[in-house]
Chain A
Amino acid sequence: MSRIGVFVCHCGENISRTVDVERVAKEAGEIPGVAYSCDYKYMCSDPGQNLLKKAVAEHNLDGALVAACSPRMHEKTFRKAASAAGLNPYLCEMGNIREHCSWVHEDREEATAKASDIVKFMVERVKKGKSLAPITVPVTKKALIIGGGIAGIQAALDIADAGHQVVMVEREPSIGGHMAQLSETFPTLDCSQCIMTPKMVDVANHPNITLYTYAEIEKVDGYIGNFQVTVRKKARSVDESKCTGCGVCMTKCPKKKIPNDFDQGHGMRTAIYVPFPQAVPNTPVIDRQNCTMFQSGKCGVCQKVCGPGAVDFEQQDTLTVESVGAIVVATGFKLYSIERKPEESAIQGYGEFGYGTIPDIIDGMTFERLASASGPTGGRILRPSDGKEPKQVVFIQCVGSRAREKGISYCSKVCCMYTAKHTMLYHHKVHDGQAYVFYMDARTPGKGYDEFWRRAVEEEEAVYIRGMVSRMYQRGDKIVVMGSDTLVGVQVEIEADLVVMATAVQAQDGADLLAQKLGISYDKYNFYSEAHAKLKPVECATAGIYLAGACQGPKDIPDTVSQASAAAAKVMTLFAKDQLERDPVVAKVNEKYCVGCLACKKVCPYGAVEEREIRDRQGNLVKVVANVNPGVCGGCGTCQATCPSKSVELDGYTDEQIMAMIESL
């Protein structure tokens, strides 16, 4: 007979408010095989854990069940406590009577009955549990950083400075991300390029960093400590090893009128190009869609003028496999496109605002480019339609954000601050101009942020109008902005020369596809999910993968950098050990019964199942059986459900355990 201890937690009042914990503990004590049961206010606290340790020793327990919160929250805590008391940690389980019971039910009677049931079937599970020893696997001390924006750069530099190898993969031809596009940054108004470009150069020159630009993640295999990542290097059409970055090809390219994405389509570039002059690496790439050579087979000027002979029209995509121990995902964000048609997505457009049809309605990032010294206007605020200096500029906040009816309910977090910054930049550059801001709420938490916003309003003379805009239309060369001032309670109509919309921050295109390759979870807006909102903000639920920056949710630069350094610290913690302990939830084959049909091999997503020949002493083949490599096994258990002879078993989730649970229902 088992000797199991049941420990029922009150969780302050979180559980005991709806569940009669004393009754649950009492009923648990009556289950056959339960030697001890008790309830306590905070099981996870030090006295609570000591209670468990003491009970294990005093009552000679051979299993423990803690009925408290979700195992996702405290399973590790209690397994550690059980282990300290001399119990095998895998014989300590948790019954979830908080998230799955007390928090979701109101009726005390029903909730108590359910909690008792949860305890009952979990006790059965513990009874049939086996002592397991953690599996040790080697750690590859090399990190992969996906995304070369400020988040990726910060994480890469931190890890590389600690002496570990780093591989950085960036989709665009240059690293730098959105921060390289910004003009000046809040709340200090220092130039973004000035603080960003040195870091970009550091990445390129760092002996520990391997940089792949114009490359994407093709495939991710493996697990924490041992990932195999296939990187697709897209054909650049320029040999990076030969190119000196002299730029002659770009000056000679006859195709000069291609809108540059880096300038939000307002500057022009050639078909062979670097996105911006400070690009890292400073190696051009040929845009094959727009290159005459690729479209009609005639031209090849760049190849003729290239001294080192770096231009290679025959170049193909190449695949490289990198072995890494940890992955930091830092893919960043994109801005909500208001011209998007409603039928294309769940997110509705803003047709009434005329964006995309009226040229002088632009988004925040375009304004950044106009204000940037390296932008298409050389830092002068000029409107796109006729190049005149706008004298009245209307800024509209929360376009797309906080608009549930348009599809996005969250706050994009950075827009209040960057709009305040825009009004200042505008005021500094156009002294006789007037900025108006339509806003819902000015949200300025952060060090020095509210002071910054107050400065925009009080010293830089931006007129803040609390209310939303209903409609905009062109009248002559002006844009009529119709809105309301809800504080005064009047309709407002402003004739603007330029309108800047603070559009919502969204997850990067293809964020969901990347998540599927990595096996990490994402929310309905495609932002990646952290393992715990408060206590594990940079870890993914998938071990060995960490998050940094706006791919996890809208974030400003200071938050992004903090998170990136935090992710780097997590990677370094992982790399501090040579061996890593893994949960021993892996499949094992019972060779006696295995008939060698290898159905398990076909379904195994990890390729962990191999054939093993069993031979007698004379070396004659007796039979072929399946064999699971515990280092590679991910522990999904698909093999067990597939096995026709039930001769493969997943430790921790054996048929015996599950059947016992079902029987007790």
Chain B
Amino acid sequence: MHAEKLQHEFEPKIVAFVCTWCTYAGADLAGTSRMQYPANVRVLKFPCTGRIDPVFILRAFQKGADGVLVSGCHPGDCHYMAGNFHARRRFAAFRALLGFVGVDLERLQFSWVSAAEGGKWVEVVTELTEKVRSMGPMKEFKALENEEQWSGALNTPELREAFESIT
């Protein structure tokens, strides 16, 4: 018997950037083990966390992500030997910058999930989804993005209102 599904007011959008060797395979394992987790996450595959440019994270937030997860091989287990070390260092700096800009760092999660850790993948995704759900939508970057799209060439209050209603 299935428990009555909880209805939430807000379904966050979570974007996960993962490496193909560890975390993607770990997520595959969660699938083959038929574990269950919230369907909010969209997984983008990279060869290595070393390939992940911080710009991608910014862009994901701008494009409507309420939470971003970056996950790769455990330190020392990188398929490419050292890609995840570079990623770790890059994200440590980037995280500080993001915090300085005013992004709630709770929305950005870094983790190591190996190919054998299907359970951990489920845990990480579920935890982040629930956390972000309780935080509500991420508005700051979306507002910026809208501002960017607003050309302002014909700046009438009516047009402005109409634009805001569609974005």
The chain A residues found within 8 Å of chain B, CB to CB, are 70-72, 96, 98-101, 103-107, 110-111, 113-114, 117-118, 121, 515-516, 519, 521-524, 529, 541-542, 585, 603, 605-606, 634-638, 640-642, 650, 652-653, 655, 658-659, 661-663, 665
Query: Do B43 and A634 have beta carbons less than 8 Å apart?
Result: no
Q: Is the CB of A653 within 8 A of B46?
A: yes
With A638-B51, A659-B59 given, is the CB distance from A521 to B22 under 8 Å?
yes
**Chain B residues proximal to chain A, CB less than 8 Å:** 2, 5, 13, 15, 21-22, 24-25, 27-28, 30-32, 34-39, 42-48, 50-54, 56, 59-60, 63-65, 73, 76-83, 86-87, 90, 114-117, 122
A175 CB to nearest B CB, Å? 29
Given contacts A519-B80, A605-B82, contact A99 B48 (CB under 8 A): no
Minimal Cβ-Cβ distance residue in B for A634? B80
Does A103 contact B39, Cβ atoms closer than 8 Å?
no
Chain B proximity of A631: nearest CB distance (Å): 16
A72 contacts B28, C-beta separation under 8 Å: yes
Q: Which residues of B contact A98 (CB under 8 A)?
A: 31
A516 contacts which chain B residues (CB < 8 A)?
Answer: 76-77
Q: Is the beta-carbon distance between A605 and B51 smaller than 8 angstroms?
A: no
Can you name 13 A-B pairs with beta carbons within 8 Å? A103-B32, A105-B37, A118-B42, A521-B73, A529-B115, A603-B50, A641-B51, A653-B46, A653-B51, A658-B46, A661-B44, A662-B56, A665-B15
Q: How far is the CB of A601 from chain B (nearest CB, A)?
A: 13
Kindly count the residue-residue contacts between A and B in the assembled complex, taking CB atoms under 8 Å apart: 151
Residue in chain A with minimal CB distance to B22: A521
Give 8 closest A-B pairs by Cβ, nearest first. Answer: A99-B31, A637-B51, A638-B50, A636-B80, A110-B39, A636-B48, A523-B116, A103-B31
Q: Which residues of B have CB within 8 Å of A529?
A: 115-116
Q: Which residues of A contact B77 (CB under 8 A)?
A: 515-516, 521
Candidates B2, B28, B37, B48; contact of A638 at CB < 8 Å: B48
A523 CA / B114 CA spacing, docked (Å) = 8
Determine the residue in chain B with the shortest Cβ distance to A102. B31
Is A521 a contact of B42 with CB atoms below 8 Å? no
Tell me whether A100 and B43 are in contact (CB under 8 A): yes
- CB-based nearest A residue for B44: A661
**Which one of B15, B81, B114 lies within 8 Å of A662 (CB-CB)?**
B15
- Residue from A99, A107, A585, A635 within 8 A of B28 (CB atoms): A99
In angstroms, Cα B15 to Cα A516, docked, is 29
Cβ-defined partner of A70 (8 Å) among B31, B35, B39, B50: B31
Option from A113, A118, A665 in Cβ contact (under 8 Å) with B63: A665
In the complex with contacts A523-B116, A662-B44, A636-B50 CB distance below 8 A: yes
Interface centre among A113, A118, A634 (most CB of B within 10 A): A634
B116-A521 in contact (CB<8A): yes
Name which of A521, A542, A634, A653 has the most chain B CB atoms within 10 A of its CB. A521
User: Which residues on A sit within 8 Å (CB–CB) of B64?
Assistant: 665
Complex Cα gap A623–B20 (Å) = 36
| B59 A662 Cβ-Cβ under 8 A | yes
Q: How far does the Cβ of B36 sit from chain A's closest Cβ, in whole Å?
A: 6
Give every chain B residue within 8 A of A653 (Cβ-Cβ): 46-47, 51
The answer for the CA separation of A326 and B30 in the assembled complex, in Å, is: 31
Nearest CB of chain B from residue A633's CB, rounded to whole Å? 10
CB of B34 within 8 A of CB of A103, answer: yes
- Of the candidates A96, A118, A636, A665, which one forms a contact with B13 in the assembled complex, judged by CB atoms under 8 Å apart? A665
Shortest CB distance A491–B (Å) = 38
Contact of B114 among A103, A104, A521, A606 (CB under 8 A): A521
Chain A's closest residue to B57 (CB) is A662
- In whole angstroms, how far apart are the Cα atoms of A101 and B21 in the complex? 19
Q: B31's contact among A104, A635, A655, by CB below 8 Å, is which? A: A104
A637 to B83, CA, bound (A): 8
Residues of B within 8 A of A121 (CB): 42, 44
> Contacting A541 at CB < 8 Å: which of B13, B15, B21, B47?
B21
How long is the Cα–Cα vector from A74 to B79 in the complex, in angstroms?
21
Q: Which chain A positions have C-beta within 8 A of B56?
A: 658-659, 662
Residues of A within 8 A of B48 (CB): 636-638
| Complex CA distance for A641 and B43, rounded to whole angstroms | 19
A105 surroundings in chain B (CB, below 8 A): 36-39
Q: Report how far A140 CA is from B166 CA in the complex, Å.
A: 62
Determine whether the beta carbon of B47 is less than 8 Å from that of A104.
no
Distance of A300 from chain B, by nearest CB (Å): 43
Q: Known A-B contacts: A105-B38, A121-B44, A641-B52. Give 12 more (CB < 8 A).
A: A101-B39, A516-B76, A521-B114, A542-B79, A605-B80, A636-B47, A638-B83, A638-B86, A653-B46, A653-B51, A658-B46, A665-B65
Which residues on the A side are within 8 Å of B30 (C-beta)? 99, 104
* CB nearest neighbor in A for B116: A523
Beta-carbon contact of B31 and A603 below 8 Å = no
- Once bound together, how far apart are the Cα atoms of A72 and B76, in whole Å? 23
Are B80 and A638 closer than 8 Å at their CB atoms? yes
A100→B42 CA distance, assembly (Å):
9
Known: A70-B28, A99-B28, A653-B51. A519 touches B42 (CB 8 A): no
CB of B75 to closest CB in A, whole Å: 10
Instruction: Indicate if the CB atoms of A541 and B80 lie closer than 8 Å.
Output: no
B residues less than 8 Å from A99 (CB atoms)? 27-28, 30-32
Chain A residue contacts of B60, Cβ below 8 A: 662, 665
Closest chain-B Cβ to A530's Cβ sits at a distance in Å of 11
Point out the residues of chain B lying under 8 angstroms from A522, CB to CB.
Answer: 116
A655 to B46, CA, bound (A): 11
Q: Which residues of A contact B59 (CB under 8 A)?
A: 659, 662-663
Task: Decide if B28 touches A662 in the complex (CB within 8 Å).
Answer: no
Q: Which of A71, A523, A641, A665 contacts B50 (CB 8 A)?
A: A641
Given known pairs A104-B34, A521-B22, A665-B63, the reply for A637 and B47 (CB within 8 Å) is yes
In angstroms, Cα B61 to Cα A663, docked, is: 10
Q: CA of A652 to CA of B73 in the docked complex: distance in angstroms?
A: 21
- Kindly state the separation between the CA atoms of A641 and B59 in the bound complex, as whole angstroms: 14
- Give the shortest distance, in Å, between B109 (CB) and chain A (any CB): 17
Contact B43 A96 (CB under 8 A): yes
Q: Which B residues are in CB contact (< 8 Å) with A542?
A: 79
Chain A residues with CB under 8 Å of B21's CB are 521, 541
**Which residue from A96, A111, A641, A665 sits with its C-beta under 8 Å from B90?**
A641
**CA–CA, A375 to B76, complex, Å?**
41
Distance in angstroms between the alpha carbons of A655 and B115 in the assembled complex: 26
Q: What residue of chain A has the Cβ atom nearest to residue B117's Cβ?
A: A524
**In the complex the two chains form, what is the Cα distance from A519 to B76 in whole Å?**
9
| Given known A603-B50, A641-B53, A650-B47, contact A521–B115 (CB-CB < 8 A) | yes
- Look across to chain B and name the residue whose beta carbon is closest to the beta carbon of A106: B36
The distance in angstroms between the C-alpha atoms of A640 and B48, with both chains bound, is 11
Q: Which residues of A contact B45 (CB under 8 A)?
A: 71
Minimal Cβ-Cβ distance residue in A for B21 = A541
Which interface residue of A541, A542, A605, A636 has the most chain B CB atoms within 10 A? A636
CA distance A529 to B118 in the complex (A): 14
Across the interface, name the chain B residue whose C-beta is closest to A93.
B45
Q: Is the CB of A605 within 8 A of B81?
A: yes
A99 CA to B59 CA, complexed, in Å: 26
- Taken together as a complex, chains A and B put the C-alpha atoms of A96 and B28 apart, in Å, by 9
Say how far B51's CB is from chain A's closest CB, in angstroms: 3
A118 CA to B24 CA, complexed, in Å:
14
Cα distance A523–B48 when bound, in Å?
A: 19
Partner of B44, one of A101, A113, A658: A658
By a CB distance below 8 angstroms, the chain B residues around A106 are: 2, 36
In contact, B44 and A636 (Cβ under 8 angstroms): no
